[in-house]
């Protein structure tokens, strides 16, 4: 069994990916400082898969501690690096925090990969690297425009750093550009469980419907889109998890054609905020209390993916759509107990 180090393994996408890795015969090990996650998620992984996953509770910016963790293993085949801060608004308020945390952690992880001869690295990037894209859908060839936030800039910079290091050191690295991950594991045992209040659309919708928030504010209905609200490409977290497992296998089977490659991971469908709310109401039978508010600074008007490259090279296809996302997110909202 190939050992895989997963940073941010207790987090939302990390924990769902760990399930997919286990189901494909990999042996994941987590590193997570629990700054925005709970180790309980690995308990849920155990309930779902029957496999115990160890978490090393250290901060990736703490280089000596990271060194010690890497020295506990001699047979790690690959690293999937999820851990990062991801609140766009907070990154504008605290840019240094984002640059320090997201960049130092990547540098430290790469330093260890190089020292230990770990040749395969997968990085959590984001469609945010495209900035205000005008040519839709975006392909991997679409140029990166200016980042809209320091968060977005950390993703762009991380991609460049990874590209240079992988070429210089001969390591194989992939940047996976996620569109909007949402939804939960079909068992209802695991879903998005941040420590800080969620700001993303789908948890805001489910928390409002569950009475945990007063209302859901639609950030602007005067954009130049079919109903005036912003367009995004929502991808089910289990599809995203599956893409990571396929990406790792792709690297380990030497199917890549260069040291550094990027892949879009979306489902190729643009959905407006108002359509998302309608989908939620349709599949759950709940009436959502929402209101139209002002535009949110930094929001991109519309973005959705072309995922042909992932389909062709990784053999990946999304299996779920917005209805499955809303159904599973609602089930998790009702079950959530950590």
List contacts with ligand UD1 (CB under 6 A).
86, 88, 126-128, 148, 152, 180, 199-201, 204, 216-219, 230, 232, 273, 296, 299-300, 303
Residue 109 contacts residue 31 (beta carbons within 8 Å) = no
C-alpha–C-alpha distance, residues 53 and 71, integer Å: 18
Cβ closest to ligand UD1, residue 192 vs residue 261: 192
Residue 213 C-beta: closest distance to ligand UD1, Å: 9
* Block residue for tokens 């550094």: 260
The Cβ of residue 155 has, within 10 Å, a number of other Cβ atoms equal to: 24
Catalytic residue among 12, 26, 130, 151: 151
Residue 126: its H or E element: strand 120-126
Dihedral sign (CA 276, 295, 178, 9):
negative
Burial of 295 (0-12, 13-18, 19+ CB in 10 A): middle
What gap in Å lies between CA 42 and CA 53, rounded to an integer? Answer: 6
Least separation in angstroms between CB 126 and ligand UD1: 3
Smaller CB separation from ligand UD1, 174 or 218: 218
Rounded-to-10 torsion of CA 154, 63, 12, 320: 60
For ligand UD1, the closer CB: 135 or 167: 135
For the bound state, the minimum distance from the C-beta of residue 275 to ligand UD1, rounded and expressed in Å, comes to: 11
With H, G, I as helix, E, B as strand and everything else as coil, classify residue 253: coil
Shortest approach of ligand UD1 to residue 208 CB, angstroms? 9
Task: Rank residues 39 and 299 by Cβ distance to ligand UD1 and give the closer one.
Answer: 299
Active site residue 223: no
Closest residue to ligand UD1 using C-beta atoms: 230
| Alpha helices, DSSP H, located in the chain | 12-23, 40-49, 63-71, 88-93, 95-98, 104-116, 150-169, 201-209, 237-252, 273-284, 308-309, 322-335
Taking the least distance from each CB to ligand UD1, the nearer of 104 and 200 is 200
For residue 35, with 0-12 CB atoms within 10 Å meaning exposed, 13-18 middle and 19 or more buried, which class applies?
middle
Which residues belong to the active site? 151
């Amino acid at each position: 069994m190939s050992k895989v180090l997963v940073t941010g393994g207790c987090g939302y996408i990390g924990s769902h990916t760990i399930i997919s890795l286990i189901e494909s015969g990999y042996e994941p090990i987590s590193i997570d400082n629990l700054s925005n996650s709970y180790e309980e998620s690995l308990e849920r992984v155990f309930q779902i898969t029957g496999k115990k996953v160890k978490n090393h509770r250290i901060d990736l910016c703490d280089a000596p501690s990271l060194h010690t963790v890497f020295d506990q293993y001699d047979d790690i085949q690959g690293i999937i690096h999820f851990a990062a801060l991801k609140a766009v608004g907070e990154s504008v308020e605290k840019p240094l925090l984002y640059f320090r945390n997201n960049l130092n952690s990547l540098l430290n992880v790469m330093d260890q990969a190089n020292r230990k001869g770990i040749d395969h690295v997968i990085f959590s990037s984001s469609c945010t690297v495209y900035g205000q894209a005008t040519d839709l859908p975006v392909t991997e060839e679409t140029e990166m425009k200016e980042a809209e936030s320091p968060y977005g800039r950390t993703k762009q910079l991380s991609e460049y750093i990874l590209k240079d290091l992988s070429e210089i050191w001969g390591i194989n690295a992939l940047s996976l550009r996620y569109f909007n991950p949402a939804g939960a594991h079909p068992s209802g045992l695991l879903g998005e469980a941040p420590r800080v209040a969620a700001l993303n659309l789908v948890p805001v919708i489910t928390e409002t419907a569950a009475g945990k928030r007063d209302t859901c504010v639609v950030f602007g209905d005067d954009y130049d889109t079919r109903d005036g609200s912003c367009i995004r490409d929502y991808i089910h977290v289990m599809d995203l998890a599956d893409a990571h497992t396929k990406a790792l296998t792709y690297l380990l089977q030497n199917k890549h054609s260069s040291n550094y490659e990027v892949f879009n991971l979306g489902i190729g469908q643009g959905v407006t905020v108002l359509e998302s709310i309608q989908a939620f109401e349709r599949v759950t039978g709940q009436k959502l209390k929402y209101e139209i508010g002002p535009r949110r600074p930094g929001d991109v008007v519309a973005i959705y993916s072309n995922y042909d490259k992932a389909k062709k090279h990784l053999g990946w296809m999304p299996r779920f759509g917005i209805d499955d996302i809303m159904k599973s997110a609602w089930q998790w909202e009702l079950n959530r107990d950590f």
